[in-house]
Amino acid sequence: MERLIHIFAVLCMALSSPAVKAQGYYAANVAPGNNGPVSTIFLMPNIYPAVILEGDTVACMWLTDFIKYSPLTFRSTKDQMAYYKLIRDVKKTLPYAKEIAEIITETYEYMETLPDDNARQKHLNKMEKYLMDTYTPKMKKLTRSQGQLLMKLVDRETNSSSYHIIDAFMGSFKAWTYNVFAGLFGNSLKTRYNPYGEDRVTERVCVLVEQGIV
């Protein structure tokens, strides 16, 4: 166990050393004589807890999950350009999908606190107007393919198709109406996101965008 902790500490130091050189650091040692824990270490502008390992002050920090993909091999220049276009489209639509997912979650949680269907319907009407006023100008700037991608990414963020979300909140008739409207533009609100199948490349791009790599 001590060896595992030591390896982790060395890894932390290796990862943090460029920041230390660039930003400077200092530590406040609680018990310097007994190899005990250090209260804090300051890797400006951040503050971390720290421990003493073999006389060295080592910052303890949580490392986020990191997914490493193998390099892609493109069969043609056309495929390569399509991949770069997908990166552009994901960067444009993924933030909207995350915003919409957050609004859906907050709306659902708030509706659970309302006393009756009448109050819930009033809140839904209010939210529908807010969403239309806020997102219609933004959605008009999306291409048809970006609109299709957005619907799939909403499914990715909520684990539910856009159709079922609208159906749950606004009723089957309005969900059907929205789906017909979307069909005029070649979209379907019933389209599901499949990160292990047809959308695996999209999932790869989403993860890379979220990790700040592309």
Alpha-carbon gap, residue 199 to 190, rounded angstroms: 15
- Is 44:24 a contact under the CB 8 Å cutoff? yes
Q: Are residues 97 and 164 located together in one domain of the fold?
A: yes
Evaluate whether residue 201 is within a structural domain: yes
What are the tens digits of pLDDT across the range 172-214? 767 776 676 676 556 777 778 999 999 999 999 999 999 888 8
Q: Based on the domain organization, do 89 and 115 belong to the same domain?
A: yes
Residue 69: inside a domain:
no
Torsion of CA 108, 114, 118, 123, to 10 degrees: -50
Judgement on whether residues 81 and 115 belong to the same structural domain of the protein: yes
Do 55 and 81 belong together in one domain? Answer: no
**pLDDT tens sequence across 147-177:** 889 888 988 998 887 778 778 777 776 777 6
Segments in the chain forming alpha helices (H): 2-23, 77-111, 117-139, 144-158, 162-170, 172-183, 200-210
Q: How many CA atoms lie within 13 A of 53 on its CB side?
A: 17
What DSSP state is assigned to residue 27?
Answer: E
Contact of 173 with 133, CB cutoff 8 Å: no
Last residue of a domain, which of 13, 29, 59? 59
Examine the domain organization and report whether 91 and 168 are in the same domain. Answer: yes
Residue showing tokens 């100008």: 137
127-149 pLDDT, tens digit each: 888 888 888 888 888 888 898 89
Q: Are residues 174 and 90 in the same domain?
A: yes
Residue 191 and residue 128 share a domain: yes
Number of domains in the chain: 2
Q: Which two tokens stand for residue 163?
A: 């159709």
Q: For the segment 62-112, what is each residue's pLDDT rounded down to a tens digit?
A: 777 778 888 889 999 999 999 999 999 999 999 998 998 888 888 888 888
In a domain, 64, yes or no: no
Quote the pTM value: 0.66
How would residue 121 be classed by pLDDT, with cut points 50, 70 and 90? Answer: confident
Three-class SS of residue 207?
helix
Query: pLDDT-based confidence at 19, cuts 50/70/90?
Result: very low
State whether 105 and 25 are in the same domain: no
In a domain, 70, yes or no: no
Residue 137 in any domain: the answer is yes
Half-sphere exposure (Cβ direction) of 82: Cα atoms closer than 13 Å: 11
| Residue 21, domain member (yes or no) | yes
Q: Are residues 99 and 203 in the same domain?
A: yes
Residues spanned by the domain of 169: 77-210
Closest CA to 40 of 57, 54, 63, 55: 57
51 shares its domain with 90: no
Residue 24 shares a structural domain with residue 52: yes
Return phi, psi of residue 41, to 5°: -130, 135
- Quick check: 147 and 139 in contact, CB under 8 A? yes
DSSP 109-129: HHHTTSSSHHHHHHHHHHHHH
Residue 202, domain member (yes or no):
yes
C-beta of residue 142 within 8 angstroms of C-beta of residue 94: no
